[in-house]
Amino acid sequence: MSALFTLETAAGTLNAAAPLILAALAGVVCERSGVVNIALEGIMLCAAFTGVAVTHALSPAGAAHASAWAPWAGVAAAAAAAVAVALLHGVVSIHVRANQIISGVAINILAVGLTQFLCYLVFKSSSNSAVVASLPRWGAGAFRYSPLVWFAFAAIPLVHLLLYRTVFGLRLRAVGEHPTAADTLGIRPVRVRYAAVALSGALAGLGGAALASDVSQFVQNMTAGRGYIALAAMIFGKWTPCGAAAACFLFAFADNAQIALQEKIPPQFAQSIPYLLTILVLAGFVGKARAPEALGKPYAKTD
Amino acid sequence: MRTALALALSLALFGCGKPADPGKGGAQVGLVFDVGGRGDKSFNDAAYRGLEKAQKDLAIKFEYIEPAQGSSDREAYLRRLAEQGTPLVFGIGFMFTESINAVAKDFAGQKFACIDYDVRPDTKIPPNVSAIRFKEEEGSFLVGVVAGLATKTKKVGFVGGMDIPLIHKFLAGYQAGVKAANPECEVIANFAGVTPDAFKDPVKGKQLANSQYGAGADIIFHASGSTGNGVFEAAKELNKQAGTVQHFVIGVDSDQWEEGGHVLTSMIKSVDVAVFEVIRDHKDGRFAAGIHTFGLKENGVGYVRDERNKALVTDAIVARVDEYRQEIVQGKRTVPEK
């Protein structure tokens, strides 16, 4: 058992948790405003690709000779692309008032195909990008991470403060619970929801960028379900930033612990541990999770 | 409405598959890649080099397709190439075995070749299929000897892709080689997953490598397609952090020296040579169906030792490796497959 609680497991857990945390926070922000965001997976994937492609484009002399700011520009581009995709989801779910689940699923499917296609155009392979210049690594010892990982940890209290200690946060939550009531008090639900969706996109985009910057390249469908795991973490955490982040840490720990367990128990079982754990915890220990009242319901002003 | 549009657009993107090189139809050779696709710098890229050489030396026109997510579309792609009338179609990877059998039966007038064809006791290989197999365990044994002699920590690692018998051949050979050269050396082995996507998950590869390096391994042999890119990334970062090169990787299938100064050697699997030779024989009307196995004796597997890594793989190590190679080639030593 002691092999489970090593420094490497701890370091690996934090690293694996970061993209999940950013995506889960993105989910919290979006859904607390009343917009379902299944599209996290696709948004992360688009961001991961954009970040790598832009970094690549800005280092024409090759990754080894890239300027120090190229990967940072990649991060900015990743966030921008993610906001754009999120706003597409926003237009469909807020403005057009279409089914938000379908919009999210469509974006996820689109993202897989589109990133693969663009990857072929840029890197002449639909499977792998080139290895690009990476962000610096900050920290000490085994705990040296890309700045995005540290940002993920900082974002937990920041999003908490935003939701519970600011006027914007209050309005965001009000719109997610009872948009009509909020409207009568002079809050514009549509505007607040657009802002929430955009912020959610930026957070998920940084999550995608964190994932790509970990290995300095893009790989076909590299998110591999992390967007969905983040959604599970969000529900598990009862739509609160701290709860969702805690769930991400738990999941990341299970994911790293299975490495130590691989040689001792059948690998098929070891690798299902993170998922089993999620189901068990969701089913047994969370208690009743209450979604925002107006979640998934498009707001239409009635006279 | 807009969702319908988005859905239609995404389906269109999915449906159209990947663009192919050069020009549709008219190609004499078609090839469908394994999971990991082009740019894995390993298994698939080795196959691609075989195509390129055929294009250059034999003036062959080729067309290739990369599988989509999960690669469940591999049979459809083989069929598409066959339907276009491509005279010779390759499937790269053991997962093509069933699909090649099925498609080859339906297109009996055309030839098919499958790299890493999975021979089971009950499989009947169609008469127009060339089944190409490698003795990965023999090449892995040699790099195991290199690792066993080069390790300073008496601990070496192995990162496998999908947990399947094929990858266990690499592991078994490697373990036997390490133990033969250095009985006290410990081998830590991990697999990236139990689905084909385990061959294209560098994030997981890096995670596994960090865990093994952290546990004291100083050399890791990966047999994991583009998942291995994460292993190189982990070594690169740890070496940069330490300021010296203490963490090494042993590449697989192709010579992976290009990945950086921390590549000790690579276990070569001559997929490029096999692809080229099948194309050449086919062109000369000498296409040979049935099983073809390439081991150390046939120079189908081996390891890299050249000007670039001779400081890492010393003459003393080479002398020892050559002794073992002789024993294997002469049949005095059998390398375990599992």
Torsion, Cα B100 B104 B105 B110, to 10 degrees, reads 180
Say if B47 falls within a structural domain: yes
Sequence-distant (6+) residues with CB within 8 A of A233 are A20, A24, A27, A244, A245, A247, A248, A251
* DSSP label at residue B238: H
- What pLDDT does B134 receive? 94
* DSSP label at residue B323: H
- Sign, CA dihedral B153-B254-B78-B281, equals negative
pLDDT in tens, B87-145: 999 999 999 999 999 999 999 999 999 999 998 888 789 999 999 999 999 999 999 99
Q: How many residues does chain A have?
A: 303
Say if residue B187 is in the same domain as residue B238: yes
Say if residue B95 is in the same domain as residue B222: no
Per-residue pLDDT averaged across B73-81, rounded?
91
Which residues in chain A show pLDDT less than 50? Answer: 1-2
- What pLDDT does B21 receive? 39
Separation in Å, CA of B292 to nearest CA in chain A: 29
Residue B157, SS3 per DSSP: strand
- What pLDDT does B20 receive? 38
Token pair listed for A25: 């926070």
User: Cβ separation of B233 and A211 shorter than 8 Å?
Assistant: no
pLDDT over threshold 50, residue B1 = no
Give the gyration radius of chain A's Cα atoms. 19
Q: Which residue has the tokens 């050489």?
A: B53
CATH C-level class of A2-284:
mainly alpha
Say if residue B221 is in the same domain as residue B275: no
Asked whether the beta carbons of A14 and A255 are under 8 A apart, the reply is: no
* DSSP label at residue B257: G
Query: Long-range contacts of range B332-336, CB-CB < 8 Å, 24 or more positions apart?
Result: B335/B135, B335/B137, B335/B138, B335/B140, B335/B141, B335/B172, B335/B173, B335/B176, B335/B177, B336/B137, B336/B172, B336/B173, B336/B176
**C-alpha span between A103 and A40 (Å, rounded):** 11
* Segments making up each domain of chain A, as ranges: 2-284
Q: What is the mean pLDDT of chain B?
A: 88
pLDDT-above-90 percentage for chain A? 69
pLDDT over threshold 50, residue B3 = no
Say if B219 falls within a structural domain: yes
Say if residue B31 is in the same domain as residue B156: no
Per-residue pLDDT averaged across B195-207, rounded?
91
Suggest the residue from A92, A127, A138, A218 to mutate for an interface test with chain B (most B CBs closer than 10 A).
A127
Say if residue B182 is in the same domain as residue B325: yes
Say if residue B197 is in the same domain as residue B310: yes
When mean pLDDT is compared over A299-303, B38-42, B63-67, B107-111, the highest value belongs to B107-111
**What phi, psi does A139 have (nearest 5°)?**
125, -165
CATH code of B313's domain: 3.40.50.2300
- What pLDDT does B23 receive? 40
User: Cβ separation of A12 and B211 shorter than 8 Å?
Assistant: yes
- What pLDDT does B201 receive? 92
pLDDT-above-90 percentage for chain B? 73
Say if residue B93 is in the same domain as residue B76: yes
pLDDT in tens, A211-225: 999 999 999 999 988
Separation in Å, CA of B242 to nearest CA in chain A: 10
Sequence-distant (6+) residues with CB within 8 A of A150 are A138, A139
- What pLDDT does B27 receive? 85
Q: Which domain holds residue B84?
A: 20-134+271-294
Separation in Å, CA of B271 to nearest CA in chain A: 19
Interface of B with A in 19-58 (CB under 8 A): 19, 33, 36-41, 44
- What pLDDT does B124 receive? 86
Say if B179 falls within a structural domain: yes
| Residue B163 at interface with chain A, using a CB cutoff of 8 Å | yes
**C-alpha span between A140 and A149 (Å, rounded):** 14
- What pLDDT does B46 receive? 93
Say if residue B27 is in the same domain as residue B163: no
Q: Which residue has the tokens 């021979």?
A: B119
Interface of B with A in 168-227 (CB under 8 A): 188-191, 193-194, 197, 200-203, 205-208, 210-211, 214-215, 226
Question: Interhelix angle for B136-150 vs B315-329, to 10°?
Answer: 150
Say if B117 falls within a structural domain: yes
Cβ–Cβ pairs < 8 A, chains A and B: 151
pLDDT-above-70 percentage for chain B? 91
Residue spans of beta strands (DSSP E) within chain B:
29-32, 62-65, 88-92, 111-115, 129-134, 155-162, 186-193, 219-223, 248-253, 263-269, 290-294, 301-303
pLDDT band, residue B161 (cuts 50/70/90): very high
Interface of B with A in 231-250 (CB under 8 A): 233, 237, 241
Say if residue B257 is in the same domain as residue B287: no
- Work out how many domains chain B is built from and give that number: 2
User: Cβ separation of A215 and B229 shorter than 8 Å?
Assistant: yes
- What pLDDT does A125 receive? 87
- What pLDDT does B151 receive? 96
User: Cβ separation of A109 and B10 shorter than 8 Å?
Assistant: yes
Say if B335 falls within a structural domain: no
Model ipTM? Answer: 0.87
**C-alpha span between B235 and B264 (Å, rounded):** 11
